């Protein structure tokens, strides 16, 4: 007998799990009066980038936000002193976002809460095999869209 499979069950589970875990981690950061999760995400990507800077379009692709939303976040982070905008030396029309020492300090302060939140609100609910299967399965989706990012 063929097994009945809901074709959107995995998709719904990903969306719901992401939403609930992110909201819980956001609350953990807020409770400890640390930077918002969206700021942490931007600072994390900048900190990991070569020379700790990225073009705005590359930053938007890495943090999975619209260019408009990234631009607003960058403005907020710039006002807070956590990053600066600098001209791209390779393209005079482009701007780079660069993390500042204050931004690195804010990211470092939030990192333990962020990492503990991943464990508490996500990882502990899954076996190592389930985590591995999720990582490998979702990476296939990511890889499929790396070929043509317009998809």
Find the CATH number of the domain harbouring 99: 1.10.10.10
63-86 per-residue burial string, b: 16 or more CB within 10 A, e: under 16: bebeeeebbebbeebeeeebbeee
Domain of residue 105 covers 31-111
- Residue positions counted in the chain: 151
Q: Record the tokens describing residue 28, joined without a space.
A: 């953990």
Q: What is the mean pLDDT of the segment spanning 38-58?
A: 94
Q: How many domains does the chain have?
A: 1
Is 94 within 8 Å of 85 (Cβ atoms)?
Answer: no
Q: What is the mean pLDDT of the segment spanning 88-112?
A: 94
* pLDDT tens sequence across 68-90: 888 899 999 999 999 999 999 88
How far is the C-alpha of 65 from the C-alpha of 144, rounded, in Å?
19
**126 in any annotated domain:** no
**122 in any annotated domain:** no
Q: Is residue 115 over pLDDT 80? A: yes
- pLDDT of 2 reads 52
For CA atoms 21, 111, 84, 60, the dihedral sign is: negative
CB atoms closer than 10 angstroms to residue 110: 23
- pLDDT of 86 reads 94
- pLDDT of 67 reads 72
Query: What's the mean pLDDT when you consider all of the chain?
Result: 91
- pLDDT of 151 reads 46
Q: Record the tokens describing residue 112, joined without a space.
A: 């333990």
**3 in any annotated domain:** no
Helix (H, G, I), strand (E, B) or coil at 102: helix
């Amino acid at each position: 007998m063929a097994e009945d499979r809901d074709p959107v069950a995995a998709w719904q589970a990903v969306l719901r799990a992401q939403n609930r875990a992110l909201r819980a981690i956001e609350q953990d950061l807020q409770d400890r009066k640390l930077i918002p999760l969206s700021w942490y995400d931007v600072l994390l990507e900048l900190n990991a980038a070569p020379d700790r800077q990225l073009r705005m379009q590359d930053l938007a692709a890495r943090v999975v936000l619209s260019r408009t939303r990234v631009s607003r976040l960058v403005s907020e982070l710039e006002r807070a002193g956590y990053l600066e905008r600098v001209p791209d030396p390779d393209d005079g029309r482009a701007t780079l976002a660069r993390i500042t020492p204050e931004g690195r300090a804010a990211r470092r302060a939030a990192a333990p809460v962020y990492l503990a939140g991943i464990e508490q609100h996500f990882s502990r609910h899954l076996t190592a095999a389930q985590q591995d299967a999720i990582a490998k399965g979702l990476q296939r989706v990511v890889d499929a869209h790396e070929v043509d990012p317009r998809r």
